[in-house]
Amino acid sequence: DVKVTQSSRYLVKRTGEKVFLECVQDMDHENMFWYRQDPGLGLRLIYFSYDVKMKEKGDIPEGYSVSREKKERFSLILESASTNQTSMYLCASSLMGEKLFFGSGTQLSVL
Applying CB under 8 A, does 66 fall inside the site for other proteins? no
Question: What 3-state class would DSSP assign to 5?
Answer: strand
List beta partners, residue 89. 36, 106
Which span sits near other proteins by CB under 8 A: 12-20, 27-35, 60-68, 75-83? Answer: 27-35
Least distance between other proteins and beta carbon 101 (Å)? 8
Applying CB under 8 A, does 27 fall inside the site for other proteins? no
List beta partners, residue 31. 94
Asked if 3 and 91 count as a contact pair (C-beta separation under 8 A), the reply is no
Applying CB under 8 A, does 68 fall inside the site for other proteins? no
